[in-house]
C-alpha cells in the first residue's frame, strides 16, 4: 500500500459501546481503569494494613504472656496446680479479650487452664518451646466455631524452660476496628473515583469539543452546505509572515484556505504544485506557526476539502447548465428514458413537435408512448465495438412519432443505449421533423423536373433548329439542281435531306427511349452476333469519317442473357460518339470488344484515340444533357446508355484523359430469363 492509503480492519465494536459518544467512551474507560486499579490498590493496602494491625494486636498479648510467665514459673516448678489455675483465671477476668489461658509442663502435659471442664480437643495440642521462632509469632486456632489468635510463650526458671504459657485471644475487637477502617477506605475510594470522574468529564468535554465541531461541519457538508466556518488553530497570513509581494499568487489575501493547499504558489526551494509541495511546506515557518495538534491538521484538511468541493460544484453546475442548454436548445428533438423506459428528458423541440409539455411527460410517459414500433431491439443492437466497450443503437431512419390530438408525424429517428459498468441505464432517441424537409424535397424535385424539362426542350429545340437549317440547305441545293437541271446538285441536295431525316429520327428515338420506363427483355444471346451487328451498322459512318473500326472477342465467351436490341443501341451510341470524338487531322481508331465478366456476366468495351475528356467534362456528361459535340449533339445518347445499363443492373465505367482518347466499359452481371 502507498503511504497515503489506509486500510481499516478488525472486529466490529460492541453495539452498546459503538453507540456512545467519544467523550463517553473515554469516561467509561477511565471509570473502568479507576475501579480496577483502585480495587487492586485497596486490596494491597488492605492486606498490608491488616497484617500490621494483627501483629501489633498480638504483640500486646505477647507482653501479657511474658509478664505472666514470670509469675507462673515458681508455681509450675512447685507443681501447685491449684494456685496456678487461680492465677490464670484471675488474669483472664482482667481482660475480656482473653478467651482462655493454658499452662503446660515441659513434656506438654496441661498443668492448669481456665476452662470449666477439660481442655477442648481442638486446643489439646502439645507445642514445642524449643522450636525456632517460638514465642515471637502466633497461630490461628478454632474454638467453639470461632477463629482465635493464640500466643505461646516459654516459662523460664533459672535459664531452664519448665513449661509453656498459651494465651487465646478473641479477634472480634480487631474485626470491628477493621470494618470501620474498611468502610472509611471505601468511602475515600468512592470519593476519589467520583472526583476523578467529574474532572475527567470536564476534561473530555473540553478535548472532544473540536471533534463535535468537525462532526457538525461534516454533517453540513454531507447535506450540501459548503458555507461552513472552520476556525481551528492559530491562523497566520503567509504574505504577512514572509513579507511576500506576489499579489498574483492564489493564496494572497485568501483566508479561505491555507497556502500549502494552493496549487502554483511562487514559493522558492520546492515544487509549487499540490500535493507535491506539502513535503516542503511542512518545513516552512508559516506552517510551523500555524500547526497545532491532529485536530487542527484535520480541520485544515476539512477546509481544503470544502474549498475543492466548492470549485468542483461550481464547475459541475456550469457543466450541467451547459448540458441542459445544449439538450434543451438543440434543433433535434430529444427524448431520454431511464432503464425502465420512463421519460426523464424531454427537450424544447420535442415539446414543440409533439404538443406535450415537459410537466405532462416527465415521469409519466414512456418511450413506447411516442412510437408505434418497438424500438428496444433496434436501439440495443451493437453499432460499434471498441476498446471502450460496445456502442449500441441505430442510425438515422425514417419513422413516425405520435403527437397530441393529431395524426403521427414523419421524423428522421436515431437512438443510442446508455451503458454504465456493463449495465443499461437508459436510452436516448433523437429525431427531426421531416414535414418541412419533405415539402422542400417535393418542391426541389418539381423544380428539377421543370429545369430538366426546360433544358431538354431548349436542347431539343436547338437541335431541331440545326436540323431544320440542314433541311433548308438540302432543299435549296435540291431545287437549284432541278432548276439548273444539274443532276449532281440534285443528288447532293437529296442526300442532305436524307441525312437530316436520319438525325431527327435518331433524336426522336433517343427521346422515346429515355422517357419510356421499361424493363429489359432478357434473351439468351450470343455477344458475338451483337458485336458484329454493331460493326456492320457503324462501318459506313466510320469509313466516311476516315476512322478504322475494329471488333474483337477476348477469351472464350458463351451465350448470355441480356436485351440484345437495347445493348445494340447502347453500343451504337458509344461507337458513334467515339467516331465523332476523333479530330479530322488524326488517323482515327475505334475498337469494340467483348469478354466474359465472370459469374455468367459479359463486358463490352469501346475505346477510341480521340480528344479524350478531362475529369470535369466526365462529371458533366454523366449528369446528362451535356455534349462535347457542340451544336451537333444533344447529350441524350449517353443518358440513354446509362438508363439501359441501369435497367440491366449493370455499371457504366469511363476511363479518359484529355488528348489521349477514352474507354467506355459496359459491365453486365450474370442474368437469367425474366430476372436476375
Ordered by start, the domain boundaries in the chain are: 12-225, 238-321, 329-432, 439-513, 517-668
pLDDT in tens, 210-231: 888 888 888 888 887 877 777 7
pLDDT at 278 over 70: yes
Q: What angle do CA 169, 170, 174 make, to 5 degrees?
A: 110
Whole-number Å distance between alpha carbons of 563 and 567: 6
What number is the average pLDDT over the span 529-553?
85
CATH of 517-668, one of 3.30.565.10, 3.30.1360.120, 3.40.50.150, 3.30.930.10: 3.30.565.10
Helix orientation angle between 527-544 and 564-581, rounded to the nearest 10 degrees: 30
Q: Are 561 and 523 in contact (CB under 8 A)?
A: yes
Cα-trace Rg, the chain: 63
Q: What pLDDT is attached to residue 351?
A: 92
431 contacts 412 by C-beta, under 8 angstroms: yes
DSSP string covering 243-259? T---TTSTTTT--SS-G
- The strand pairing partners of 433, in sequence order, are 411
Tell me the C-alpha distance between 48 and 39, whole Å: 14
Give first-to-last CA distance, the chain, whole Å. Answer: 71
The CATH classification number of 12-225 equals 3.30.450.20
Q: Distance between CA 123 and CA 613 in Å, rounded?
A: 149
- Residue whose grid cell is 445494340: 568
Residues 396-452: tens digit of each pLDDT: 888 888 888 888 888 999 989 888 877 888 899 999 988 888 888 778 877 765 665
CA quadruple 521, 525, 527, 533: dihedral, nearest 10: -80
Q: Which helix (H) or strand (E) holds 445?
A: helix 435-483
| pLDDT computed for residue 674 by the predictor | 45
CA gap 259, 307 in Å, rounded = 12
Annotation: CATH topology of 329-432: Beta-Lactamase (3.30.450)
Report CA-CA distances (Å) from 556 to 202, 552, 593, 663.
Answer: 113, 12, 12, 22
The percentage of residues in the chain with a pLDDT greater than 90, rounded to a whole number, is: 6
- pLDDT, average across residues 533-542: 81
Cβ pair 499, 506 in contact under 8 A: no
> Which residues are within 8 A (CB) of 599 and not within 5 positions of it... i.e. 6 or more apart?
669, 670
Q: 204 preceded by cis ω (within 30°)?
A: no
Q: SS3 of 376, please? A: helix
Among 325-339, 518-532, 534-548, the range of highest mean pLDDT: 325-339
Q: Do domains 329-432 and 517-668 have the same CATH topology?
A: no
The three three-digit cell numbers of residue 401, written as one number: 412519432
* Higher-confidence position of 11 and 479: 479
Burial class of residue 166 (count of CB atoms within 10 Å of its CB; 0-12, 13-18, 19+)? buried
CB count, 10 Å around CB of 105?
Answer: 15
Q: Per-residue b/e over 534-566, b at no fewer than 16 CB within 10 Å?
A: bbeebeeebeeeebebebeeeeebeebbbbbeb
Do 624 and 635 contact (CB within 8 A), yes or no? Answer: yes
Amino acid at each position: 500500500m502507498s503511504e497515503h492509503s489506509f486500510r481499516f480492519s478488525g472486529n466490529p465494536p460492541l453495539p452498546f459501546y459503538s453507540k456512545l459518544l467519544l467523550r463517553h467512551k473515554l469516561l467509561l474507560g477511565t471509570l473502568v481503569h479507576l475501579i480496577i486499579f483502585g480495587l487492586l490498590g485497596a486490596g494491597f493496602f488492605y492486606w498490608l494494613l491488616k497484617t500490621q494491625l494483627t501483629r501489633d494486636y498480638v504483640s500486646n498479648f505477647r507482653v501479657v504472656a511474658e509478664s505472666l510467665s514470670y509469675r507462673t514459673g515458681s508455681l509450675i516448678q512447685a507443681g501447685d496446680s491449684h494456685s496456678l489455675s487461680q492465677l490464670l483465671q484471675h488474669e483472664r477476668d482482667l481482660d475480656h479479650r482473653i478467651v482462655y489461658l493454658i499452662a503446660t509442663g515441659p513434656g506438654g502435659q496441661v498443668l492448669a487452664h481456665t476452662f470449666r471442664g477439660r481442655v477442648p480437643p481442638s486446643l489439646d495440642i502439645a507445642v514445642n518451646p524449643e522450636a525456632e521462632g517460638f514465642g515471637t509469632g502466633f497461630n490461628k486456632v478454632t474454638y467453639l466455631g470461632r477463629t482465635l489468635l493464640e500466643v505461646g510463650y516459654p516459662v523460664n526458671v533459672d535459664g531452664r524452660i519448665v513449661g509453656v504459657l498459651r494465651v487465646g485471644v478473641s479477634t472480634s475487637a480487631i474485626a470491628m476496628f477493621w470494618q470501620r477502617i474498611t468502610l472509611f477506605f471505601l468511602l475515600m475510594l468512592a470519593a476519589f473515583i467520583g472526583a476523578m470522574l467529574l474532572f475527567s468529564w470536564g476534561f473530555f468535554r473540553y478535548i472532544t469539543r473540536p471533534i463535535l465541531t468537525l462532526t457538525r461541519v461534516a454533517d453540513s457538508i454531507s447535506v450540501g452546505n459548503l458555507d461552513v466556518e472552520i476556525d481551528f488553530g492559530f491562523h497566520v497570513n503567509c504574505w504577512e509572515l514572509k513579507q511576500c509581494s506576489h499579489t498574483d499568487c492564489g493564496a494572497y489575501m485568501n483566508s479561505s484556505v491555507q497556502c500549502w493547499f494552493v496549487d502554483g504558489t511562487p514559493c522558492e526551494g520546492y515544487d509549487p504544485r499540490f500535493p507535491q509541495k506539502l513535503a516542503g511546506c511542512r518545513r516552512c515557518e508559516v506552517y510551523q506557526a500555524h500547526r497545532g495538534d491532529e485536530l487542527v491538521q484535520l480541520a485544515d484538511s476539512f477546509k481544503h476539502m470544502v474549498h475543492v468541493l466548492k470549485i468542483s460544484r461550481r464547475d459541475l453546475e456550469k457543466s450541467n447548465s451547459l448540458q441542459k442548454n445544449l439538450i434543451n436548445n438543440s434543433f433535434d428533438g430529444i427524448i431520454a428514458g431511464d432503464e425502465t423506459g420512463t421519460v426523464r428528458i424531454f427537450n424544447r423541440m420535442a415539446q414543440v413537435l409533439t404538443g406535450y409539455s415537459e410537466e405532462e411527460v416527465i415521469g409519466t410517459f414512456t418511450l413506447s408512448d411516442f412510437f408505434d414500433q418497438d424500438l428496444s431491439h433496434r436501439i440495443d443492437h451493437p453499432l460499434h465495438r471498441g476498446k471502450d466497450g460496445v456502442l449500441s443503437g441505430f442510425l438515422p431512419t425514417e419513422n413516425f412519432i405520435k403527437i397530441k390530438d393529431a395524426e403521427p408525424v414523419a421524423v428522421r429517428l436515431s437512438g443510442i443505449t446508455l451503458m454504465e459498468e456493463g449495465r443499461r441505464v437508459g436510452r436516448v432517441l433523437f429525431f427531426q421533423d421531416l414535414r418541412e424537409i419533405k415539402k422542400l424535397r417535393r418542391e426541389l424535385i418539381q423544380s428539377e423536373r421543370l429545369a430538366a424539362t426546360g433544358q431538354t426542350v431548349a436542347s431539343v429545340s436547338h437541335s431541331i433548329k440545326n436540323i431544320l437549317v440542314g433541311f433548308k440547305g438540302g432543299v435549296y441545293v435540291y431545287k437549284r439542281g432541278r432548276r439548273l437541271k444539274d443532276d449532281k446538285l440534285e443528288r447532293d441536295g437529296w442526300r442532305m435531306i436524307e441525312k437530316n431525316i436520319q438525325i431527327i429520327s435518331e433524336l426522336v428515338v433517343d427521346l422515346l427511349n429515355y422517357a419510356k420506363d421499361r424493363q429489359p427483355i432478357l434473351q439468351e444471346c450470343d455477344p458475338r452476333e451483337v458485336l458484329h451487328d454493331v460493326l456492320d451498322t457503324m462501318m459506313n459512318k466510320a469509313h466516311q469519317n476516315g476512322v478504322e473500326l475494329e471488333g474483337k472477342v477476348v477469351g472464350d465467351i458463351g451465350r448470355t442473357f441480356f436485351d440484345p436490341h437495347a445493348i445494340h443501341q447502347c453500343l451504337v451510341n458509344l461507337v458513334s460518339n467515339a467516331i465523332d470524338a476523333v479530330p479530322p487531322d488524326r488517323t482515327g481508331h475505334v475498337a469494340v470488344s467483348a469478354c466474359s465478366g465472370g459469374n455468367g456476366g459479359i463486358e463490352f468495351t469501346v475505346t477510341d484515340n480521340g480528344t479524350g475528356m478531362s475529369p470535369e467534362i466526365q462529371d458533366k456528361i454523366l449528369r446528362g444533357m451535356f455534349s462535347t459535340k457542340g451544336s451537333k449533339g444533344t447529350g441524350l445518347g449517353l443518358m440513354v446508355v446509362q438508363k439501359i445499363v441501369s435497367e440491366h443492373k449493370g455499371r457504366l465505367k469511363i476511363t479518359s484523359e484529355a488528348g489521349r482518347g477514352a474507354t467506355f466499359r459496359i459491365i453486365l452481371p450474370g442474368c437469367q430469363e425474366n430476372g436476375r
